[in-house]
Structure 1
Amino acid sequence: MLENREGQRVPKTQFRTRVDHDWVNVSTDDVFAGKTVVVFSLPGAFTPTCSSSHVPRFDQLTDRFRQLGVDTVACISVNDAFVMNEWKEAQKAENVVFLPDGNGEFTDGMGMLVGKEDLGFGKRSWRYSMLVKDGVVEKMFIEPEKPGDPYGVSDADTMLEYLAPNSAKPLDVAVFSRKGCPHCARAKGLLRDAGIAFEVLELNEQYTDRGLRAVADATSLPQVFINGDKVGGADDLENWLANNAIADEQRTAA
């Protein structure tokens, strides 16, 4: 039975990290003392759910967490420093601190070290997340104990809902673009001026004209999508931003 450690201090241990070509010991005091830290722990680097969902969403929401008083977002896995460094680079997760718990000492101290021998993993971490304030666990979200690798409560959005119930989530924005396109540059400038983060997809790099037609039913560029909805080109985006600014002002006034 996995134990909820809310109200308890995190275990004291050392994380053996690699910085450039040197070993650097990072203590739990270095990570947690005097800080508010969001931690998410998972079974293994480069594994499917961890790479496709768990890490990317925490990385995307880190700026929002910081606005809510979080100092650090940390990922802990029972993997060595070399693996964790390579995984961080592969994930392009610049906002998240990756902490290698190669011997499982921190995970064991949290009561979250479980056997994954059926997968050839040995001992690994159960999937969970927690909010830690000055070394004391305030809140834990532990995945239910059932076969497989459940993933439903330790995600970044659940943590965000705990920190700021019913608050608006950051927009998910993608811009289908082409290098050298002035209208594309204008659309990206409008988003930057509005303080909206976005992902750029470049023609003939991440997609082709066929992909653009399939997704946007269009051939002109840019094509901007927000939260799954097609906004359109730069003029359409400008109108969308103006209308949504008015809606935001009305909500604030109300």
Structure 2
Amino acid sequence: MTIKVGDKMPSGTFGVMTDAGPGAVSSEELFAGKKVVLVSVPGAFTPTCSMNHLPGFVDQADDLMSKGVDTIACMAVNDVFVMDAWGKDRGVGSKVMMLADGNAEYAKALGLELDASGFGMGIRGQRFAIVVDDGVATHVAVEQPGEFEVSKAEAILAQL
């Protein structure tokens, strides 16, 4: 079943890079008591994701935070090393938390997985953005295939 407004975010764990190496953060740690914008992209280093989607959230981070957002997190079905390298490549710094959903478990728990096998990419997460307030989805913006409108930073900023 696909996540919708009013639903509690599913439990899960994301890979994150720490100063000591690969680590993990639970969905409870990520969402409890905070307003979070969870952005999902089909893949790190892919064209739209690298040139538009992630950079938009980096560029709009201060504006999003001024609207009460505590954390901006970008999730992709990649490993923690790739997500860390991509974040460094895109200069996210501390503006965006890079989350690895290596086996697409969280994308599947949200009901937002994408079969990109036809492109040689296997199971991925769809392109989306969810505004989460204390563990509850308050805005869910899922892109139609090939689109990039409702989940971009400017569209999410307009919803806050």
- TM-score w.r.t. the length of structure 2 is 0.95
Equivalent residue runs for 1:17-166 within 5 Å:
17-94=16-93, 95-144=95-144, 146=145, 149-163=146-160
CA distance in 2, matches of 1:58, 1:4: 22
Gaps of 5+ in 1: 164-254
Deviations 1:59-89 (A, max 9, x none): 1111111111110011010110000000000
CA distance in 2, matches of 1:20, 1:34: 25
Structure with greater helix percent = 1
Deviations 1:177-220 (A, max 9, x none): xxxxxxxxxxxxxxxxxxxxxxxxxxxxxxxxxxxxxxxxxxxx
- Over aligned residues, Cα RMSD in angstroms? 1.3
TM-aligned CA deviation for residue 22 of structure 1: 2.7
Count, aligned residues: 159
Amino acid at match of 1:162: Q
TM-aligned CA deviation for residue 155 of structure 1: 0.4
Equivalent residue runs for 1:177-188 within 5 Å:
none
Gaps of 5+ in 2: none
TM-aligned CA deviation for residue 105 of structure 1: 1.0
TM-aligned CA deviation for residue 21 of structure 1: 4.3
Amino acid at match of 2:136: V
CA distance in 2, matches of 1:121, 1:104: 12
Deviations 1:222-243 (A, max 9, x none): xxxxxxxxxxxxxxxxxxxxxx
Between the two proteins, what is the percent identity of the paired residues?
38
Aligned to 1:14: 13
> Over alpha carbons, which structure has the higher Rg?
1
Structure with greater strand percent = 2
TM-aligned CA deviation for residue 103 of structure 1: 1.1
CA distance in 2, matches of 1:151, 1:4: 19
Tell me the SS of whatever aligns to 1:12: coil
Tell me the SS of whatever aligns to 1:57: helix
Greater than 6 Å deviation, 4+ residue runs: none
- TM-score w.r.t. the length of structure 1 is 0.61
Amino acid at match of 2:107: T
Task: Using CA pairs under 8 Å that are at least 6 residues apart, name the structure with larger relative contact order, 1 or 2.
Answer: 2
CA distance in 1, matches of 2:33, 2:105: 22
Aligned to 1:206: none
